[in-house]
Structure 1
Amino acid sequence: MSTKARGKLTLERVLGLSTCSNAGLSVNRVTGDIAYPAGCVVVMYNFQRDKQTRYYRVEKPVSSIAFSVDGALLAIAEKGQAPSITVWDVETGQLKAEFKRHKYGVIAMAFSADSRFLVSMGLVHDKMLYAWDLSTNAVVGGAVVEDKIYAVDFSADGRFFVTVGYRHVHFWPLDDDNMFRVTGKVVADPPLVELASTPATMSRLADATFVDVGCGASSKTVALTADGFLCCFGGTVMERLVSLQASRGFAMSVSADVVAVAGAAATIRLFDPSTLEYKQTLPFPPSHGRMNDRDQFTAAFLTPPHPDEYAAAVAVRVVDATHVVAVYADHTLVVIERSTGTVRRTFFFHHGAVTDLQLVGRVLGVDARGRPHLSKTSNAPDGTFVTCSDDKTIRFWHLDRHKKSPPHTTWVNPYCPELLHVVYAHGATPSTSPLPPAVIDMRNPKDTADTRDGLKCVAVSDRTVAVGSNDGAIHVVQLDWPAMPQRILDKAHASAVLTVAYSPSGELLASGGRDRLTHVHDAAHIRTKTLENHSGAVVAVQFTADGKRLISAGADHNLVFTQHRIFRYNSFPVQGGKLHAMAVVDNDYVLTCVNTWVDVHTLISNKHVQTHHVGEHHRVALSPGAALVALGGSSHDKCIYIVDFHSGEVLAKAAGHGDAVTGLQFTLDGRRLVEVPLPPTTASALLPTSSWSLAHERDLLKKKKKQQETANAVADMQAKLGLLGILKPKPPTPVTLGQHNTVDNEGAAHGALELAKSPVHASIVAGYAAELEPETKYNSPDAAEGSNDDNWQRIYTRDELRHE
């Protein structure tokens, strides 16, 4: 079956960023738009309108972005094998040029003052610097740079550009014809003329590592060292330096009247660009564990009393004459008004991998108009969803709280409208939950290992949220804002908890782990049963809609169906390879993502009924009404597919993820899809109107088909009872419904079970269902306690009834 999609998902919102240096943060000096990367997507945010105005998608994760001086162009560079540099028209959003020369990634870029040239510097293993002419879309020169480079910037008059790095400050001049000076040598393959450079003259700090550089309106050049010294150059000669009064320096931004410098412990200081005279210290954001507390932005001190409680400021840009934007190591983004120190906008994003998400609330049904019936016992706002992460936090979000509306009195964060609340899974002090290393070095391969006590999976009931962690504990959070009391089920599993699920009533909590065990807890979260049904890790558990059966999927390629009240189970192997994910459709079907396809099994007879060949996927989600299936999580194509549950047709596709998707959920109205890809971001996408309409039509058709199946099942059962002499037979009266005029035996079984009301019919109906449900053949608690089969009354099977 083809995976070509009929439509595309429309990206609506992005909650997260992947910026780890100033190269990943740029500002349009004309419009004030702020650009930052989120995986393979560059987000354009306008803080005056408080809106994400546009998204740019590239094929690989973004490593560097840069606006031209006139604000008309945006350059986006990638990292990875054979990366591209794409140049976009900001007004139209159209691609203007694409350059391919670098081998492993681009660490920094800069436009010339007239926007004619773009300079790009490769990662340390790339070692290449290239100059591109945007008037001809051609490379005009290059150089091999053996030193480790961190930043590049063009002078305001366009007469030179500067590169800085480890023991490296070099000036690259242009001649009177506005062309790059060359050495006369040839470099690279295919050959290029070599650009000429002049090293800086420094009496001090010659062995320092320079991490950022900026050129002001005058001929002055300002550079920052990793150990926190700010240096001013006149021409190529260092003239003065000043200490940042911070243990580390990470980023800086130069404008006509100010130099903003970011350093360790959330320190951002402002200096004069010509004299380096100290001007101001901007407010410090909330320390670790204080994101829910009011009045935590403070400028009451020059250096925090406990620096290890504050994340480093890793990127800073002067937005306009009055505002500065900063990004911190914990993925906090803040827009601050310089003159007053007022915080205009704050975003608190996850800084660890987001491992799962769930919607807070439950769909009880969908009416004829497609409107969901929701549970009313939850006190969380409608539209809330919860995420868990390797950063050891549980965060509650709402996509509509940023809109202008009457102020909310409950479930509100004092700084970030989208973020309703943060629960710290391991306490709120750095001693119990330390911050991660200040800066992630994107020049080194990322560590893909799970955090030892990071959070892995989440399940939601009306009143509680359960989160499994990599150390085997389960954190249970009461949805009682603002206290949000938390209880820890320590050592619930011997190793990582891979999956958790509540029963529909919320009275039972099931968990599966890498220790191959499945635990069932009661409403008081006391363990009532341990199931050893798998010989491999338990990757998914889920209850059926009636709460009577627990279905588990394991790395041993087995699906196990357990009657949780009597703990009898039936299992069967899943053919074809590794079982990645599972979803249950009411009491009817179970979907399994196996190898490169999706299998559908019926819950009545556990038989395989359908296969959709839609590629390899590790995450699956069902829309309300189960008409649509969202698939994702593959580390190969890194895409999300919206598939018709009944036909397997791919209705929509979304790309632009930098890594595998770790979570998927439809919103309760079925119109949006919320996803959590790596790196740590959360995105919301709008479904195409055609897909949502198809889902609505499928839901109506499903209801009509069930009515038809029930009516035909009644007639079928009456005829069989007549053969036994129990009931005078009546000729069956089929119900026609267009092309859906056939009745399967499984649908008839549903009707037969519901119609078994009298003792006379009970034994025959039980026999009819026994063939379909082998795990409940003796539907009595006594059978689970070892009752003798000889004591059971003879019951007829379906085939025996047919031959009577």
Structure 2
Amino acid sequence: MIAYAAGSTVVLITKNNGQFHFVNNSKNNITCITFSTNGKYLATGEFGNCPMVRVWEICKDGTFQGQQIAELKYHTLGVLCVKFTHDSTQLISVGIQHDKSVAVWDWRGQKKIAENRLTSQVNAMDISEDGNCFVTVGVRHVKFWMLNGKEKALSGRSAILAEQRNNTFLDICCAPGNRAFALTDTKLLIVNTFELTGEIPYSITLGPLNHLLIGFSNGHVRAINTETIEVQQLPGIPHYLHHDISTASGHETFYQEGINAVKSNERFPDVKALLYHQKSKTLTVLYSDRSIYQWLLTDSFGQSLLIGYRNHVGAILDLEMVPKNLPWLPAGTFMTSGVDATIRFWSLEKPNENVNSILTSNILSPELKKVLFLSPDEKLLSDHADNHSGMIFSDPLDSTTGARCLKLSPDGRHLAAGFRDGNLGVFDITTDKFEQLISVEAHDGEMLCIEYADPQKTDGHTMLASGGRDRLIHLYDAENGYQHLATVEDHSSSVNSIKFIPTSSGFEMFTCATDKLVVIRRVTNSSNGISLERINQFSSPSGLNYLTTAPDGSLIGACQDRQLRTYTINGKMNKQIKGTLCEEGTLTKLALDPSGTYAATVCSDRYVYVIDISTGECAA
């Protein structure tokens, strides 16, 4: 079983590729995870306000639990690493750089047994093979701590580092025979001292047959014999950074692509962490592009790929669903865009032979089917640890890259993307080439919303509207190469949402912005071109972040004061209900179920709320 952290959620992947998850009780990011030796419990450390060490029960009587059973409070700023002792009776936690604390816990009794202060930034920790001590390593720091369970003050002894005393130690691995092996950022493996030539080492773990496994930059893993210090390169490498996952139809093609990529000096993601499971001979590797691979190792260190998972690097900005079966994409396919300047196509459904799809299965990821790369910049496709702590990654939320909003055309042929630099792109998704049809410099600032007018609901034209941070709204003719039709300047602040509502004569276009104003214009096509007549406007008590239509024809807005407000199309407010359970933050997005009974709201407090619109009660 693999566990990894995604924000304040722990995701568990079982050996048969099933998934479970549980959510942290606080809004803090989870920074570290460890399993107990018997695999029944899992401990997490977190970063943020009042960080806790939490212990969860995973399974009970063979069924998934995900229940928190212990909450340990001591660290004040954040927890960098946690580890169960070999008998799982105690838990060790180390604080982040400015927290400067280490503690040993009786986690069942929820009490601290021992503690001490740290003077240096710590990057990693491991427990000795006999379980009598543990080792912390960091900036000019290697220290051995005695685990006897009796002393209130945790006793520690610094290693004698001699000429290596000014090094930064990145990772530590304890091996049989009371030996510890450490990696430095100057490419050294500290045994006595052994220089690692080539790439920078990042992670170390105990492998098979008295070997250490070390993960390096550019995707390499090497095995080092702890007796002879003989180095052996493992043959398996991951995908290169701009690799199209849809081409990995079989192992032979994937391995050949890797060989060709090495020859052409393509860049591969760095190995950020690795773990070896002795019983199943499985090597699990986390790479800097947030992908996870599992390899089966043979006794001669041959590798065969078991499964992989490919994820966005950084924040996901928007998601768009395919609502019905199309001749090229099945229903349930969805597209996501992220700050890594990619658009990714996913499907959680099992392949159906009776449904056509241009998306094919691959050997690397069960769900991810296709990746569109929107930028040649390789830096966007790799995670970079921040300067404060080696293991806490910072999302480039303030970047200007990536598609901020996605919209599928009414006929399902085109996918429109509004970019953070203000450009508009439209892709043909009816063929496996996913050709970009147009690229338009539309807005001076970030594009915040795009919307198609559906001609099937009237006898009108297919139009595309875009709104941005520059307060402008542009309209394009989707049936004639997305020619520019008109520009509207109705708002005094960022345009957050656009909706087309069909009428007998064409469409009415509703636009809302953070200036609290909803403006209604009648859109009609004629032989002389497009007409945009302003027919009404109304004001909301708070800025609107999103606007959608209910099945009964009314409008529902997600507001910055966390309220859901329902309006008639003439602007009269019918109802106001609370869209969250929190007292802070703002609603950012809203979706209705097909019957219009429930609203799913996304709040900046990181929760999704399901609200009963008629009563205002939170259903989930």
Give the TM-score, by structure 2 length.
0.87
The 1:196/1:335 distance shift into structure 2, 3 A limit, reads same
User: Where does 1:601-612 land on structure 2 (aligned, <5 Å)?
Assistant: 601-603=567-569, 605-612=570-577
Q: Does 2:130 correspond to 1:157?
A: yes
Distance 1:337 1:404 in 2: 29
Is this contact kept in 1: 2:554–2:568, CA < 8 A? yes
Q: Does 2:204 correspond to 1:252?
A: yes
The 1:95/1:118 distance shift into structure 2, 3 A limit, reads same
Say which SS state the counterpart of residue 330 (structure 2) adopts: coil
What corresponds to 2:594 in structure 1?
624
- The amino acid of 1:75's aligned partner reads A
Is this contact kept in 2: 1:413–1:421, CA < 8 A? no
| Residue range with higher mean Cα deviation, 150-159 or 198-207 | 198-207
The 1:404/1:500 distance shift into structure 2, 3 A limit, reads closer
Say which SS state the counterpart of residue 309 (structure 1) adopts: coil
Deviations 1:49-102 (A, max 9, x none): 111145353422111111122323211111112111112233323433221000
The 1:256/1:284 distance shift into structure 2, 3 A limit, reads closer
- The amino acid of 2:177's aligned partner reads S
Q: Which structure's residues are more often strand, by fraction?
A: 2
Deviations 1:701-729 (A, max 9, x none): xxxxxxxxxxxxxxxxxxxxxxxxxxxxx
Distance 2:91 2:19 in 1: 26
Say which SS state the counterpart of residue 548 (structure 1) adopts: strand
What corresponds to 1:349 in structure 2?
311
- The amino acid of 1:254's aligned partner reads L
Say which SS state the counterpart of residue 75 (structure 2) adopts: coil
Is this contact kept in 2: 1:551–1:562, CA < 8 A? yes
Is this contact kept in 2: 1:155–1:215, CA < 8 A? yes
The 1:342/1:82 distance shift into structure 2, 3 A limit, reads same
Is this contact kept in 1: 2:94–2:103, CA < 8 A? yes
Distance 1:634 1:570 in 2: 34
Percent of aligned pairs with the same amino acid: 25
What corresponds to 1:737 in structure 2?
none
RMSD, aligned α-carbons: 2.7
The 1:479/1:613 distance shift into structure 2, 3 A limit, reads same
Q: Does 2:34 correspond to 1:79?
A: no
Q: Deviation of residue 318 (structure 1)?
A: 0.7
The 1:172/1:41 distance shift into structure 2, 3 A limit, reads same
Distance 1:302 1:223 in 2: 33
Say which SS state the counterpart of residue 59 (structure 2) adopts: coil
- The amino acid of 2:292's aligned partner reads L
What corresponds to 1:166 in structure 2?
139
Of residues 313, 316, 329 in structure 1, which corresponds to 2:274? 316
Is this contact kept in 1: 2:328–2:356, CA < 8 A? no
Distance 1:625 1:545 in 2: 19
What corresponds to 1:55 in structure 2?
22
Distance 2:30 2:388 in 1: 11
Q: Does 2:421 correspond to 1:454?
A: no
Distance 2:556 2:22 in 1: 33
The 1:466/1:480 distance shift into structure 2, 3 A limit, reads same
Is this contact kept in 2: 1:281–1:302, CA < 8 A? no
Is this contact kept in 2: 1:554–1:579, CA < 8 A? yes
Q: Does 2:268 correspond to 1:337?
A: no
- The amino acid of 2:437's aligned partner reads R
Distance 2:488 2:224 in 1: 64
Q: Deviation of residue 39 (structure 1)?
A: 1.3
- The amino acid of 1:551's aligned partner reads F
User: Where does 1:589-668 land on structure 2 (aligned, <5 Å)?
Assistant: 589-594=554-559, 595-603=561-569, 605-615=570-580, 616-635=586-605, 638-652=606-620
User: Where does 1:191-590 land on structure 2 (aligned, <5 Å)?
Assistant: 193-232=152-191, 239-243=192-196, 245-246=198-199, 248-255=200-207, 257=209, 258-292=211-245, 293-294=247-248, 295-297=253-255, 304=262, 309-321=267-279, 322-339=281-298, 340-361=302-323, 374=324, 377=326, 379-401=328-350, 410-414=358-362, 415-426=364-375, 429-430=376-377, 435-436=381-382, 438-440=384-386, 443=389, 446=394, 449-461=397-409, 462-505=412-455, 507-523=462-478, 524-544=481-501, 548-565=507-524, 566-585=531-550, 588-590=553-555
- The amino acid of 2:567's aligned partner reads H
What corresponds to 1:683 in structure 2?
none
Q: Deviation of residue 498 (structure 1)?
A: 0.6
Q: Deviation of residue 171 (structure 1)?
A: 0.9
Q: Deviation of residue 489 (structure 1)?
A: 2.4
Uncovered stretches (5+) of structure 2, i.e. residues with no partner: 456-460, 525-530, 581-585
What corresponds to 1:783 in structure 2?
none
Higher relative contact order, structure no. (Cα contacts within 8 Å, ≥ 6 residues apart): 1
Is this contact kept in 1: 2:329–2:356, CA < 8 A? no
Distance 2:233 2:394 in 1: 36
Is this contact kept in 2: 1:598–1:614, CA < 8 A? yes
- The amino acid of 1:483's aligned partner reads K
Distance 1:308 1:210 in 2: 29
Of residues 17, 35, 42 in structure 1, which corresponds to 2:3? 35
Q: Which structure's residues are more often helix, by fraction?
A: 1
Q: Deviation of residue 206 (structure 1)?
A: 2.1
- The amino acid of 2:272's aligned partner reads V
Distance 1:115 1:445 in 2: 29
The 1:510/1:359 distance shift into structure 2, 3 A limit, reads same
Q: Does 2:38 correspond to 1:70?
A: yes
Distance 1:572 1:454 in 2: 33
Distance 2:208 2:278 in 1: 10
Distance 1:449 1:555 in 2: 20
The 1:314/1:406 distance shift into structure 2, 3 A limit, reads farther
User: Where does 1:708-719 land on structure 2 (aligned, <5 Å)?
Assistant: none
Distance 2:600 2:176 in 1: 52
Distance 1:225 1:104 in 2: 26
User: Where does 1:690-729 land on structure 2 (aligned, <5 Å)?
Assistant: none
- The amino acid of 2:206's aligned partner reads V
Deviations 1:432-459 (A, max 9, x none): x754454355737946643213221111
- The amino acid of 1:439's aligned partner reads A
| Residue range with higher mean Cα deviation, 251-260 or 445-454 | 445-454
Is this contact kept in 2: 1:249–1:263, CA < 8 A? yes
